[in-house]
Structure formats: structure tokens, C-alpha cells
């Protein structure tokens, strides 16, 4: 007869209690894992929100830059228009004054026996001495020469240095 020592057998309640304890610990580990996942999801959501706000700020900055560029382009266009208009106005004024100045030069060339450059130089120097614009001098010279009376006859403007 072989007798083996008897192994105490755990009661079924004890087995159940151990199994219940293992299940409870597994449930706690699962709950802890769920909590870690929830916190990770919250951190990811917060990071996504920060990224979204950064994108919105970048979009707003891009829009401000685009509007500034448009304002600069509009200002450049206005400047070009002003320059074009002022250049046109200067050319128009020259076209209007050129015939009378050319006529006055012709009269001076005939009276003084000089060339076109010297006649203009006479006009220029007389303009500087009398502080009267060349165009106005030219109008006076042409008016006196044609006898139209368009200019004051009492005003004497020395055209050359040898005039009395």
C-alpha cells in the first residue's frame, strides 16, 4: 500500500475567490489601460486643436500679406497713372508753348541775325534777368512783332546785353 501524502485540496470557494481576484485585477488593468488611452486621445485632440489654430493663424497671416500685396499693387498703379498723367500734362504744355517760342526764336533770329540756339539762349537769359517765364516773353515778342497788341507795350525786356 503505497500511501501518498494527501494533498490538501482547495475548496471550490477558494478557487472561485482566486479566479474572482484575478478577474478583478484584470478588470483594473483594463480600466487603467482604458484611462491611459482616454488621456492619450485627449492629448491628441488638444494637439490637433493647437494645429488647427496654428493653421488658422497662418491662413490669416497669408490673407493679410495678400491684402498688403494688393494694396501695394494698387498704390503702384496709382503712382504709374500719376506719372503717366503728369508726363502727358508736361508734353501737352510743351506742345502748347512750343509754337509761340519757335515763333519768338524766328523773330529774334531775323532781328539779331543769329541761329536758333543763340536765339533761344537770348530768350533764356532775358527770362532769367527779368524773372519772367520764357513762354510769356515769347508771347510778348510775337505780340509786339505782329502788332496785335496782345502784350503790354510799355514793358521793355532787354533781350541782349547791348540793348539800351
Mean pLDDT of 79-102: 80
The percentage of residues in the chain with a pLDDT greater than 90, rounded to a whole number, is 56
Topology adopted by domain 12-146? Arc Repressor Mutant, subunit A (1.10.10)
Sequence length of the chain is 164
pLDDT-based confidence at 53, cuts 50/70/90? very high
Mean pLDDT of 96-117: 91
Average pLDDT of every residue of the chain: 83
- Calpha distance 156→149 (Å, rounded): 14
C-alpha cell of residue 99: 509754337
Do residues 150 and 138 make contact, with C-beta atoms less than 8 angstroms apart?
Answer: no
Among 29-38, 66-75, 110-119, where is mean pLDDT lowest? 66-75
pLDDT-based confidence at 164, cuts 50/70/90? very low
DSSP class per residue in 127-148: HHHHT--HHHHHHHHHHHHHT-
Residue 135 has pLDDT above 60, yes or no: yes
CA angle, residues 95, 101, 103, in degrees to nearest 5: 110
Residue 49 has pLDDT above 90, yes or no: yes
Residue 74 has pLDDT above 90, yes or no: no
User: 10: phi > 0 → left, psi -120 to 50 → alpha, else beta; which?
Assistant: beta
pLDDT, position 94: 72
Q: Which of 35-49, 69-83, 137-151 has the highest mean pLDDT?
A: 35-49
Sequence spans of domains, the chain: 12-146
Amino acid at each position: 500500500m503505497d500511501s501518498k501524502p494527501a494533498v490538501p485540496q482547495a475548496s471550490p470557494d477558494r478557487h472561485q475567490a482566486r479566479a474572482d481576484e484575478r478577474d478583478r485585477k484584470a478588470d483594473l488593468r483594463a480600466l487603467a489601460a482604458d484611462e491611459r488611452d482616454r488621456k492619450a486621445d485627449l492629448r491628441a485632440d488638444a494637439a490637433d486643436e493647437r494645429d488647427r489654430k496654428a493653421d488658422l493663424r497662418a491662413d490669416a497671416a497669408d490673407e493679410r500679406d495678400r491684402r498688403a500685396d494688393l494694396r501695394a499693387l494698387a498704390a503702384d498703379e496709382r503712382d504709374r497713372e500719376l506719372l503717366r498723367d503728369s508726363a502727358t500734362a508736361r508734353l501737352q504744355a510743351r506742345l502748347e508753348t512750343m509754337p509761340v517760342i519757335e515763333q519768338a526764336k524766328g523773330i529774334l533770329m531775323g532781328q539779331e541775325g543769329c541761329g536758333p540756339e543763340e536765339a533761344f539762349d537770348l530768350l533764356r537769359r532775358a527770362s532769367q534777368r527779368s524773372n519772367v517765364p520764357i513762354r510769356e516773353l515769347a508771347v510778348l515778342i510775337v505780340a509786339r512783332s505782329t502788332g496785335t497788341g496782345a502784350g503790354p507795350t510799355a514793358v521793355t525786356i532787354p533781350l541782349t546785353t547791348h540793348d539800351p
